[in-house]
Chain A
């Protein structure tokens, strides 16, 4: 018991240190690397152009990346818990397709609402609306189980992706190119203002609170549907509620970061290796791991190919994929 406690504490401290380190490195990283001294000077209120860039642009972006990563980690954990499937990921039930369509509308259709507001709003609405539609379809079909949800999800995602592609081809022109929409779908942290960052932080805290309330149910569901039902647990209702909450989390992530591949899939696995299967620990640990991964990936995206920025989702997939394979192989061998 004592050694278990010790390794548990060690894991938490290690994750916290990793997060602090990655935030520090990411704040330095860019096409022009900043020294810690420059960062300190900027934070102290220096008024050079470069300091303003660091304070008004880079620092909020680094923190936003961490928060988006946390959301992806949480939502991945919820989805893997609900589907009791290690391959489940946050975008499984149409949220990617819905967010993509919402973003395409926001970017291409002149509606008269400023884009900084419209884009996250429609991305959120699309992501959540798509998943809600999937849940509704499988309810109407009387199949609110993993297979029913997944099949409805595949169908809805296909329709939404096709609609998005048509909008992209039809509405792009010399001024708004396909590339704008494509690049959004490949992920990229929208840099919020400091007050916008505050809003995001509150949203993340809310998401953590909501999903922690699911922790116990997810643990029970992990025993298997039959076992859970025999405990008097209403599996169908819980699945629907958990999926809808999980998709609120992923929709928030999508609104601020576009579609970031792979983090939602990998973070819960790493968290499970460190913390074991109980969701009360798993959810916050996965949030920390997601935050670390996206912070580092975003720093790479901003710095390795000057003068251009690589879409974040490409970095997380290219760098995260092999990393995950190595971890998996080591895990399976031991």
Chain B
């Protein structure tokens, strides 16, 4: 009798433990349409790329990050974490050394190509996130909240950011949208790199009340300075520092551009607008003040 009761209790306990484990298991679908199951909330996370690191940090889980890549600079707490990759690629060995239970990556710079297959083969869950527009950036925060077992926190962070975007949208609604070009880089042969339609950066410009100067174009990211002069945008944005912008707009031709003459050539933050994380919303708010200054006058 006693043995039977013991067995019953043991079974009940076991069952309880199992259902607890089952309740904790989470399955999410990533940007490559892969279904990734996490049996329990990950405690050792390798975040490839600044955006993914920033999202995990925004979820309050910075101490769970055990590996980053060389171009991650924010938040400061992660700078001392071990590096698992850099400009030339990512190291499967270095990732495995950290004994991770989750790897988060983005398809940029070969990360997905180099890491998804080995991680799948050795059984480390890997999530690949994409950020083609601002809505996807926010969705990624919710997804990572769910995947890391802090769903409520993910919802809260995402909802706060959404509210801020909606506020900006309300403020710029109905106003004339200035034609805008954002230069994101320069290449040696004099060509310029430009934020293209279909990217989260372009989406940020639209949300902040701008309009693309090259409507419908965007096959190549690199365009000639002549095309920019020709488009003569109302606002010229330069993702970089003031000195480089000053140098660019002091060139012949550029001085006479409408945006330069009317004082609407501005520097914007690379870390806000070229890293698709929570700080992108700071970037949208700042962009709105540049694109629609009247809406923000006291």
| Chain A residues proximal to chain B, CB less than 8 Å | 30-32, 49-50, 52-53, 56-57, 107, 115-116, 169-170, 172-177, 179-180, 183, 191, 193, 302, 305-310
* Bound: A175/B90 CA distance, A: 16
Residue pair B110, A49 in contact (C-beta under 8 Å): no
Chain B residue nearest to A51 in the complex (CB): B122
Kindly identify, within residues 149 to 167 of chain B, every residue whose CB is under 8 Å from any CB belonging to chain A. none
Number of interface residues of B (CB under 8 A): 38
Is the pair B91, A52 in contact by a Cβ cutoff of 8 Å? no
CA distance A30 to B92 in the complex (A): 9
Contact A308 B118 (CB under 8 A): no
Given A177-B108, A309-B88, CB of A52 within 8 Å of CB of B97: no
Give the contacting residue for A175; candidates B99, B107, B117; CB below 8 A: B107
Closest Cβ–Cβ distance, residue B186 to chain A (whole Å): 16
A309 and B91 in contact, given A49-B99, A52-B122, A173-B196 (Cβ under 8 angstroms): yes
In the complex, the answer to whether A308 meets B121 with C-beta atoms within 8 Å is: no
A49–B124 contact, CB under 8 A?
A: yes
Contact B91 A306 (CB under 8 A): yes
A173 touches B106 (CB 8 A): no
Assuming the A-B contacts A306-B91, A307-B83, A308-B87, are A169 and B96 also in contact, with contact meaning beta carbons closer than 8 angstroms in the complex?
Answer: no
B110 touches A307 (CB 8 A): no
Chain B residues with Cβ under 8 A from A169's Cβ? 220, 222
Given A169-B220, A175-B107, A31 contacting B91 (CB threshold 8 A): yes
Measured CA separation A175–B108 after assembly (Å): 4
Offer 6 A-B interface pairs, CB within 8 angstroms, sorted by A.
A30-B93, A32-B94, A57-B121, A177-B110, A307-B91, A308-B85
Give CA–CA (A258, B124) in the complex, Å.
27
Q: Is the interface of B mostly helix, strand, loop or mixed?
A: mixed
Q: B91 to A170, Cβ gap below 8 A?
A: no
Measured CA separation A10–B89 after assembly (Å): 42
A306 contacts B96, CB within 8 Å?
A: no
Complex-state Cα separation, A307 to B72, whole angstroms: 15
What A residues does B196 contact at CB under 8 A? 173
Tell whether A183 pairs with B221 under 8 Å between CB atoms, given A53-B96, A306-B91, A309-B88.
no
The answer to whether residues A306 and B118 also contact, given A170-B219, A175-B108 and a CB cut-off of 8 A, is no
Question: Bound complex: CA of A30 vs CA of B198, how far in Å?
Answer: 39
For the complex of A and B, list the 9 residue pairs with the smallest distance between their C-beta atoms, beginning with the closest.
A308-B88, A31-B93, A307-B91, A175-B107, A307-B94, A52-B122, A56-B121, A32-B93, A30-B93
The CA-CA distance from A250 to B117 in the complex, in Å, is 25
Identify the closest chain A residue to B131 (Cβ).
A174
Q: How far is it, in angstroms, between the C-alpha of A115 and the C-alpha of B94 when the chains are bound? A: 25
Binding site for A on B (CB under 8 A): 83-94, 96-97, 99, 106-110, 113-114, 117-118, 121-124, 130-132, 196, 198-199, 219-222
Residue in A57, A179, A308 with the greatest tally of chain B CB atoms within 10 Å: A308
B108 & A174 in contact (Cβ 8 Å cutoff): yes
Known: A31-B91, A177-B108, A307-B93. 10 other contacts (CB 8 A): A53-B118, A56-B122, A57-B92, A115-B113, A169-B220, A173-B199, A191-B118, A307-B85, A308-B91, A309-B89
- Residues of chain A within 8 A (CB-CB) of B89 are 183, 308-309
Find chain A residues with CB under 8 A from B132 CB: 174-175
Is the beta-carbon distance between A53 and B110 smaller than 8 angstroms? Answer: no
Give bound CA distance, A53 to B118, whole Å.
8
Q: Which of B110, B221, B222 contacts A179 (CB 8 A)?
A: B110
Of the candidates A50, A107, A173, A174, which one forms a contact with B96 in the assembled complex, judged by CB atoms under 8 Å apart? A50
Nearest chain B residue, comparing its CB with the CB of A56? B121
The reply to whether B199 and A52 contact each other, CB–CB distance below 8 Å, is no
Most buried by B among A53, A306, A310: A53
Inter-chain contacts of A30 with B (CB < 8 A): 93
Contacts of A32 in B (CB 8 A): 93-94, 96-97
* B220 CB, nearest partner CB in chain A, Å: 6
Q: Would you call B109 and A49 a contact (CB within 8 A)?
A: no
Residues in A with CB closer than 8 Å to B114 are: 309
- Check B84 against A307 for contact (C-beta < 8 Å): yes
Nearest CB of chain A from residue B190's CB, rounded to whole Å: 16
A162 to B92, CA, bound (A): 33
Known contacts A31-B93, A307-B83; is A53 also within 8 Å of B122 by CB? yes
Q: Which residues of A contact B91 (CB under 8 A)?
A: 31, 306-309
B139 to chain A minimum Cβ distance, whole angstroms, is 15
Bound complex: CA A129 to CA B123 (Å): 38
- How many angstroms between the C-alpha atoms of A177 and B185 in the bound complex? 15
Given A175-B107, A175-B130, A307-B83, verify A53-B92 contact (CB < 8 Å).
yes
Q: Is the CB of B117 within 8 A of A183?
A: no
- Compute how far the CA of A17 lies from the CA of B94 in the bound complex, rounded to whole angstroms: 31
A174 to B143, alpha carbons, bound, how many Å? 20
**A residues within 8 A CB of B106?**
175
Nearest opposing residue in chain B for A309, CB measure = B89
A191/B117 contact (C-beta < 8 A), A31-B94, A57-B92, A173-B221 known: yes
- By a CB distance below 8 angstroms, the chain B residues around A52 are 121-123
Q: Which of B86, B92, B93, B107 has a CB less than 8 Å from the CB of A176?
A: B107
A310→B88 contact, CB < 8 A:
yes
B90 CB to nearest chain A CB (Å): 7
Contact check, A193 vs B121: say whether CB atoms are below 8 A apart. Answer: yes
